[in-house]
C-alpha cells in the first residue's frame, strides 16, 4: 500500500511538472502513436484508415495541454464519433476480441471493450494518472447485455465519472441507472507489468489473459500500454 | 600425464560441464515457472476475493474477513491484506514461512523467488471501498523446486558415474593398440627387436606400427649383416676351409695362449702326418683329396664331443695337430691311442692305402714354450715314422715331476674332495674400462689333495671323464654363497662369475638342484652370474636358454665366455637372454700387434653393445695388449696383468688397481 501511495504521489508530481513544460508533451506524440502507423494503416487497410490514425494523433496533440475534464470529454467524444459500434463476433469473427486502437480505427469499428481500450490508452498517454482510471465490467440494464465502460475517479473514494460509448455525454455513475457495475480492475500495477514483461519475453501472448495479450500486441505496434 | 589420462580428463570435464549447465538451466527454468505460477495464483486469488467481497453488504465486516480467512486457511498464501482507499489496513492475515519440510536455507538464498503482491479493488456499486493485496507462499514452490533439483542431482550423479566408467572402458579399448606400440618402442630402446604381429585398425597407429616393424626388420638385417661379416672374417683368419678345423694360425694362437698364460696347463699335444697324401692327390685327383680331408675333419669333430675343451687343427697339407686336456700321462696315453684307433677305422683305414703316423707329447706345468712343445712332439713323430705302417708314439720324458695316479685313485680323490668340499676358491677381479672400478669377480676353483694343489687344467679332464661336472659345479656355487656371507651388505654389489660346464647345462637334474640351491640363498643369488663356454652352445643352446629362463626369477645373470674359440654364429647373442660375453684370452694375447684381432674385438663390442650386452676381455698379461684392448671399447678387463687370482673374497672385493 505504501508503494502505491508513493507512485500516486510521484505521478501527481509528474503531472504538475508536465503542465509546466507542456511543450515537451507535444514532442512526445511520436512515442504515443508512432508516425509509421499511418503509412502502415494505409497499406494494411485503406487510405481513410490512415487518415483516421492521423486524426487520432492530431487530437492527442491538440488536447494534451487541456485541463483534465476537457481531455476526458474530447477523447470520449472522438472515439464515440469516429468509431462505429459493432459486436465482436461480427467485426472480428471471434467472441471477446480486445482490439488495439490501431485495429479499431483501421477497420473502422469496434465494440465496447475496444472503445474502453482506445480511451484508456489515449488518456494515459496525454497525462491522465492511470490510478484514477478503472476498467469496469457492467451490465446494461435496459439492454440486458454485458457491457464495459471506462470510469474516472477524481479522488480514490469518489463517485466515478463514466465514459461510455452508448451515450456521448460523460455523467457521474450515480446518474447512470441504466448501468449496473459488476467489477472494476486497475489496468496498471507491478504484477501486470511483470506479467507483460514475461509475455513479451516469451513471445507467446496466447497463454496470458486478454489484457496482457492486448498489451503485448500494443507493444509490438510500438505503443507502450 | 599420459595421453589416455588427458583424454579422459577432457571428456570427464565435458560431461560435468554439460550436466552442470543442464542443472543450472533446470534451476532457472524451474524458478521462473514457479514464480509465474505463484504470482498468477496470487492474482487470481486477489481478483476472486475482491469480486466476492464486492458482492457483500459493506457494513458486514465479519463476512468480509471470513472470506479472507477462507482463502488464507487454504495455506497457499503468505499475506492477505484488505486496506481502505486511504491506505488504512482493515484486516490482515499473514504468517511466517514454514520452518521445516522446505528446501535448505542456502538453496533459498541461492535461488530467490520474486513474489509480487497482487492487488484488486473491492467496490461497493460504483464506489471503491479499498484494495486486497495477496502474496503467495514460497514454501511449496521451494519444496517442489528442491525436490526437482535433488532428483536431477541424483540423476546427474548416476549419469556421471556411468559416463565415466563407460569412458574408461572405451578409452582402454581404443588405447590398447597404442599401449602395444609403446611397449614395442620401449622394447626397441632396450635393444629387444620385436616385430609386432597385431596391426591396429586405426590408420595413424597402423602406419606407426608398420613403420616400427620396418625399422625393426632393418635393424635385424643390419645386425645379421654385421655378425655375418665378423664371422666370415674369423673363419677366413682362423679356420681351415676343407676340414672345418682350425688352421695353423688359429691353432697356434689358442695353443700358445694355453701354454704361455700364467696358469697351469695339462694336456697332450698330438701331431699326425699322412705320409703319402701327395701321391694320393696325384692318383685319385684333387677332389678326392679334398673329400678325404673333409671326412677327416668330420670324424675328428665327432671325436671331439668327448673332449670338448680340445683344440683340433690342420697345419698344412696332410699335417694335423690336436691338443687335448688331460690329467696325467696315463690319460694322455689313452687319448692318443683312442685318436689313433679312430683314424685307423674311419678316414684313414687301410683301403685308402694311406699311411699315417702320430707323435705326441704330454705337457703339464705353469709355462711351456709352444715351439719347444712342437719340437718334442715332432721328435716322437719321427720315431713313429721309422715304421712303414701306421704307428703312434708318445714322447718319453726322463723325469716326471708330477705324481701319477691310476683311474681308481683319481675316482677316490675326486669323491673325497666333493664330499669334504675341499675345494679352494680363487678370485680374479675384472675392472671397468670406464672408471677403473671393480666390475665383477671371476671365480676359479682348485683342489687340494695330500698337500698338493691341483689346478683346473689337471683335475677337470678327470671330472668330465667321471661325469662329476654337475656335482662339482653345485659344490662350487654353494661354496661361493657361503664365502659371501661375511661381505659388507652396504658395499656396492659386485657380480661373482662362476663357470658352468657344458655337461651340467645338459643335465636336467642339475637345473632342478641349482634352482633349489638358489632358493636357499635368495640374497646371494642376486650377486652371481653363471657362464658357459661358447663352444658349449653348439650342443647345448636350448638347454642354456631353458636354464637362463629358470635363473631369471632369482636375479642370476648368464654370460658366455671363451667367445671367439667356437665356430658358432653370433645370432645366439640375440636368441639368448645374456648379460655379458667374455672374449677369450687367445684373442687378447698380442692384440697390439695383430690388426685383425683388434678388428674382431671391435666388431664384437659393436654387436654386443647393439644388444645391450657387456663385453669383457680376459687373460690380459702385457701392458701393450691392455692398452690395445682398452681402445676397442670393451666394458671390462681382467688378467694377470692386474693381479693374480686372490685367495680371499674380501681381498677381491676390496681390490683396487694400482694407479
pLDDT tens-place string over residues A52-107: 999 999 999 889 889 998 999 999 999 998 888 887 667 777 777 888 999 988 88
Residue B384: what pLDDT? 84
| pLDDT class of B635 with cuts at 50, 70, 90 | very high
pLDDT digits (tens, 9 = 90+) for B80-115: 999 988 888 888 888 865 555 677 888 888 888 888
Residue B349: what pLDDT? 72
pLDDT at A4 over 50: no
CB atoms within 10 A of CB A96: 11
Asked if ipTM goes beyond 0.90, one says no
Contact A1 B83 (CB under 8 A): yes
Residue A75: what pLDDT? 92
Contact B619, B257 (CB under 8 A): yes
Q: What is the mean pLDDT of residues A155-167?
A: 90
| pLDDT class of A9 with cuts at 50, 70, 90 | very low
Contact A195 B39 (CB under 8 A): yes
Candidate from B92-96, B387-391, B528-532 with smallest mean pLDDT: B387-391
CB atoms within 10 A of CB B427: 23
Contact B126 A173 (CB under 8 A): yes
B126: nearest CB among A1, A160, A190: A160
* List of chain B residues whose C-beta atoms are within 8 Å of the C-beta of residue A171: none
pLDDT at B44 over 80: yes
Which one of B80, B126, B127, B133 would you mutate to disrupt binding with A, by most A Cβ within 10 Å of its Cβ?
B126
**A112-125 helix and A68-82 helix, angle to the nearest 10 degrees:** 140
pLDDT at A14 over 70: no
pLDDT at B651 over 70: yes
Residue A204: what pLDDT? 45
CB atoms within 10 A of CB B435: 8
Cell numbers for B656, please give them. 683396487
Whole-prediction pTM: 0.53
pLDDT digits (tens, 9 = 90+) for B200-256: 787 888 888 888 888 888 888 888 888 888 888 877 778 888 888 888 888 888 888
Residue B285: what pLDDT? 83
| Mean per-residue pLDDT over chain B, rounded | 84
pLDDT digits (tens, 9 = 90+) for B477-524: 999 988 887 666 666 778 899 999 988 998 999 999 999 999 998 888
Q: Of chain A residues 50-79, which have a CB less than 8 A from chain B?
A: none
Residue B659: what pLDDT? 59
Contact A156 B54 (CB under 8 A): no
Candidate from B64-68, B292-296, B308-312, B487-491 with smallest mean pLDDT: B487-491
CA torsion B95-B97-B99-B101 (nearest 10°) is 120
Residue B306: what pLDDT? 81
Residue B526: what pLDDT? 87
Give the SS3 label for residue B323.
Answer: strand
* List of chain B residues whose C-beta atoms are within 8 Å of the C-beta of residue A153: 128
CB atoms within 10 A of CB B136: 26
Query: How remote is the C-alpha of B356 from its chain's centroid?
Result: 53
* Cα–Cα distance for residue pair B67/B335, rounded to 1 Å: 135
Contact A185 B127 (CB under 8 A): no
Across B490-533, the runs of DSSP E, i.e. the strands, are 495-499, 528-533
Could you identify the residue written with the cell 680374479? B428
Could you identify the residue written with the cell 611397449? B183
Cell numbers for B360, please give them. 705326441
Candidate from A201-205, B17-21, B575-579 with smallest mean pLDDT: A201-205
Give the SS3 label for residue B335.
Answer: helix
Q: Kindly report the CA angle at B294 between B288 and B296, in degrees rounded to 5?
A: 105
Phi then psi for residue B651, to 5 deg, are: -60, -40
pLDDT at B50 over 80: yes
Decide which of B561 and A94 is more confident: B561
Percent of chain A exceeding pLDDT 90 equals: 22
Residue B609: what pLDDT? 87
pLDDT digits (tens, 9 = 90+) for A15-46: 554 444 444 444 577 778 888 888 899 998 88
CB–CB contacts below 8 A, A to B? 64
| Mean per-residue pLDDT over chain A, rounded | 79
A184 CA: distance to closest CA in chain B (Å)? 7
Q: Is the dihedral of CA B322, B326, B332, B335 positive or negative?
A: negative
A153: nearest CB among B40, B125, B128: B128
Q: What is the mean pLDDT of residues B3-7?
A: 83
* List of chain A residues whose C-beta atoms are within 8 Å of the C-beta of residue B116: 190-191, 194
Amino acid at each position: 500500500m505504501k508503494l502505491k501511495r508513493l507512485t500516486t504521489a510521484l505521478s501527481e508530481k509528474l503531472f504538475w511538472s508536465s503542465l509546466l513544460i507542456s511543450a515537451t508533451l507535444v514532442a512526445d506524440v511520436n512515442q504515443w502513436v508512432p508516425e509509421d502507423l499511418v503509412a502502415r494503416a494505409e497499406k494494411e487497410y485503406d487510405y481513410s484508415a490512415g487518415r483516421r490514425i492521423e486524426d487520432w494523433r492530431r487530437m492527442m496533440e491538440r488536447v494534451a495541454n487541456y485541463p483534465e475534464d476537457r481531455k476526458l470529454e474530447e477523447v470520449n467524444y472522438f472515439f464515440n464519433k469516429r468509431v462505429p459500434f459493432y459486436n465482436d463476433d461480427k467485426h472480428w469473427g471471434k467472441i471477446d476480441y480486445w482490439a488495439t486502437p490501431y485495429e479499431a480505427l483501421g477497420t473502422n469499428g469496434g465494440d465496447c471493450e475496444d472503445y474502453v481500450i482506445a480511451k484508456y490508452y489515449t488518456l494515459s498517454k496525454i497525462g491522465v494518472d492511470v490510478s484514477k482510471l478503472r476498467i469496469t465490467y457492467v451490465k446494461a440494464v435496459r439492454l440486458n447485455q454485458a457491457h464495459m465502460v471506462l470510469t474516472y475517479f477524481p479522488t480514490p473514494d469518489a463517485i466515478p465519472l463514466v465514459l461510455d460509448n452508448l451515450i456521448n455525454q460523460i455523467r457521474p455513475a450515480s446518474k447512470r441507472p441504466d448501468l449496473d457495475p459488476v467489477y472494476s480492475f486497475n489496468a496498471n500495477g507491478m504484477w501486470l507489468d511483470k506479467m507483460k514483461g514475461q509475455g513479451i519475453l516469451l513471445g507467446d501472448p496466447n497463454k496470458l489473459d486478454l489484457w496482457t495479450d492486448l498489451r503485448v500486441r500494443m507493444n509490438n505496434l510500438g505503443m507502450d500500454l | 600425464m599420459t595421453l589416455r589420462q588427458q583424454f579422459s580428463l577432457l571428456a570427464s570435464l565435458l560431461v560435468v560441464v554439460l550436466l552442470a549447465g543442464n542443472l543450472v538451466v533446470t534451476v532457472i527454468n524451474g524458478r521462473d515457472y514457479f514464480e509465474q505460477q505463484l504470482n498468477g495464483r496470487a492474482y487470481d486469488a486477489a481478483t476472486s476475493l475482491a469480486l466476492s467481497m464486492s458482492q457483500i453488504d459493506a457494513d458486514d465486516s465479519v463476512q468480509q474477513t471470513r472470506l479472507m480467512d477462507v482463502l488464507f486457511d487454504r495455506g497457499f498464501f503468505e499475506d492477505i491484506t484488505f486496506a481502505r482507499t486511504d491506505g488504512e489496513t482493515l484486516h490482515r492475515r499473514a504468517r511466517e514461512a514454514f520452518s521445516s519440510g522446505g528446501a535448505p536455507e542456502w538453496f533459498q538464498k541461492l535461488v530467490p523467488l520474486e513474489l509480487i503482491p497482487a492487488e484488486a479493488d473491492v467496490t461497493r456499486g460504483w464506489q471503491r471501498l479499498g484494495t486486497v493485496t495477496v502474496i503467495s507462499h514460497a514454501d511449496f514452490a521451494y519444496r517442489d523446486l528442491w525436490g526437482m533439483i535433488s532428483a536431477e542431482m541424483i540423476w546427474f550423479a548416476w549419469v556421471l558415474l556411468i559416463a565415466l566408467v563407460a569412458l574408461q572402458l572405451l578409452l582402454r579399448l581404443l588405447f590398447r593398440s597404442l599401449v602395444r606400440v609403446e611397449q614395442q618402442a620401449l622394447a626397441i630402446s632396450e635393444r629387444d627387436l620385436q616385430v609386432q604381429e597385431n596391426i591396429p585398425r586405426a590408420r595413424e597407429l597402423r602406419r606407426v606400427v608398420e613403420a616400427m616393424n620396418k625399422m625393426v626388420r632393418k635393424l635385424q638385417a643390419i645386425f645379421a649383416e654385421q655378425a655375418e661379416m665378423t664371422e666370415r672374417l674369423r673363419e677366413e683368419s682362423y679356420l681351415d676351409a676343407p676340414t672345418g678345423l682350425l688352421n695353423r694360425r688359429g691353432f697356434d694362437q689358442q695353443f700358445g695362449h694355453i701354454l704361455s698364460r700364467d696358469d697351469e696347463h695339462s694336456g697332450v699335444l698330438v701331431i699326425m702326418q699322412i705320409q703319402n697324401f701327395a701321391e694320393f692327390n696325384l692318383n685319385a685327383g684333387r677332389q678326392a683329396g679334398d673329400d678325404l680331408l673333409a671326412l677327416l675333419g668330420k670324424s675328428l669333430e665327432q671325436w671331439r664331443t668327448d673332449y670338448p675343451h680340445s683344440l683340433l687343427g690342420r697345419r698344412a697339407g696332410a699335417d694335423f695337430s690336436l691338443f687335448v686336456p688331460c690329467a696325467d700321462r696315463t690319460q694322455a696315453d689313452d687319448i692318443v691311442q683312442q685318436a689313433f684307433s679312430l683314424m685307423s677305422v674311419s678316414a684313414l683305414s687301410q683301403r685308402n692305402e694311406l699311411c699315417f703316423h702320430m707323435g705326441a707329447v704330454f705337457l703339464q706345468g705353469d709355462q711351456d714354450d709352444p715351439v719347444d712343445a712342437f719340437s718334442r712332439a715332432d721328435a716322437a713323430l719321427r720315431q713313429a715314422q721309422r715304421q712303414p705302417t701306421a704307428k703312434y708314439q708318445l714322447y718319453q720324458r726322463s723325469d716326471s715331476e708330477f705324481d701319477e695316479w691310476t683311474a681308481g685313485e683319481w675316482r677316490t680323490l675326486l669323491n673325497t674332495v666333493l664330499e669334504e668340499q675341499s675345494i679352494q676358491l680363487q678370485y680374479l677381479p675384472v675392472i671397468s674400462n670406464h672408471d677403473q672400478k671393480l666390475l665383477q669377480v671371476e671365480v676359479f676353483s682348485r683342489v687340494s689333495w695330500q698337500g698338493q694343489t691341483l689346478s683346473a687344467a689337471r683335475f677337470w679332464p678327470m671330472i668330465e671323464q667321471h661325469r662329476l661336472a654337475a656335482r662339482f659345479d653345485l659344490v662350487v656355487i654353494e661354496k661361493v654363497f657361503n664365502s659371501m656371507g661375511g661381505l659388507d651388505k652396504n658395499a656396492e654389489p659386485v657380480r661373482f662369475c662362476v663357470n658352468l660346464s657344458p655337461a651340467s647345462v645338459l643335465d636336467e637334474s642339475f637345473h632342478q638342484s641349482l634352482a633349489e640351491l638358489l632358493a636357499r640363498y635368495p640374497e646371494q643369488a642376486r650377486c652371481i652370474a653363471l657362464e658357459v663356454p661358447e663352444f658349449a652352445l653348439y650342443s647345448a643352446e636350448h638347454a642354456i636358454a631353458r636354464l637362463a629362463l629358470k635363473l631369471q626369477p632369482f636375479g642370476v645373470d648368464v654370460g658366455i665366455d671363451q667367445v671367439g674359440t667356437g665356430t658358432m654364429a653370433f645370432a645366439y647373442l640375440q636368441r639368448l637372454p645374456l648379460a655379458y660375453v667374455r672374449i677369450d684370452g687367445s684373442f687378447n694375447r698380442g692384440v697390439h700387434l695383430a690388426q685383425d684381432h683388434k678388428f674382431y674385438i671391435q666388431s664384437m663390442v659393436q654387436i654386443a653393445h647393439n644388444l645391450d650386452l657387456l663385453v669383457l676381455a680376459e687373460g690380459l698379461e702385457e701392458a701393450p695388449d691392455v692398452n690395445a684392448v682398452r681402445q676397442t671399447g670393451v666394458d671390462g678387463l681382467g688378467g694377470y696383468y692386474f693381479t693374480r687370482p686372490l685367495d680371499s673374497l674380501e681381498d677381491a672385493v676390496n681390490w683396487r688397481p694400482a694407479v
